Amino acid sequence: MIRRDDLQHEGLVLYQDDALPRFDADAVHLAHFLRLRRGERAIDLGCGTGVLCVLGAAFTGAAFTGVDIEPRLVALARRSAKENGQDIAFLTLDARDAPARLGHGAFDAAVCNPPYFTAGPPSPDPARAAARHDAGGTREAMLRAAFLLLKNGGRLFLCCPAAGLAAAFAALDAHRLEPKRLQLVAAAPERPPRLALIEAKK
């Protein structure tokens, strides 16, 4: 069932389908973590329903493009942007193909909330599995794409489980992306961090 959710910011809405992957708190934390300037070009790799683009554009004034391999999610993202009056381009496109399609060095920034579960069985639903379970090197592919899409000095914003921070730093280093800023997120002050927000530079 398709639903229309209030994003609790300046009347923005987001359309989601209960049968498809939906955004979670990680995406909202990442949107608040972004440091972009008005007019900068940013790309969301694996944009899903487009929540990072919708909130990121509203928070920063940057010009966003979102790409996702799942056409049903892209259709929902376009519907949200249209109702919000936002000029955001959403494309049905594999992140691996984005550099060839959109241009090397075409963006000032990239954002990514990649799938990061590698253990346990993935969801039997292909769309949900692709969104949350990295069974085929999706994160590595997104990092390769981000490096190619970014201008020299461009920034990548991404999140990962706090427990996987060392692996994330190693992956960034392997793709010539240097971590510059880190924020850890915990459910409560007395709880250990569960999420890491990272800004890296090409």
Any idea of the CA torsion for 157, 158, 162, 163, to the nearest 10 degrees?
Answer: -130
Cα dihedral 179→183→186→190 (10° resolution): 110
- Cβ count within 10 A of residue 141: 17
- The per-residue pLDDT for 125 is 53
- Return the pLDDT at 7: 97
Residue ranges with strand state E in the chain = 2-6, 13-17, 41-45, 63-68, 89-92, 107-112, 150-161, 178-185, 195-201
Q: What pLDDT is stored for residue 114 in this prediction?
A: 87
Q: What is the pLDDT along the chain (202 residues), one digit of tens a residue?
A: 999 999 999 999 999 999 999 999 999 999 999 999 999 999 999 999 999 999 999 999 999 999 999 999 999 999 999 999 999 999 999 999 999 999 999 999 999 998 754 444 444 455 444 444 445 578 899 999 999 999 999 999 999 999 999 999 999 999 999 999 999 999 898 999 999 999 999 9
Domains, the chain, ordered by start: 2-117+133-201 (3.40.50.150)
- CA 53, CA 78: separation in Å to the nearest integer? 11
Where residue 166 falls (left for φ over 0; alpha for ψ -120 to 50; beta otherwise) is alpha
pLDDT computed for residue 128 by the predictor? 43
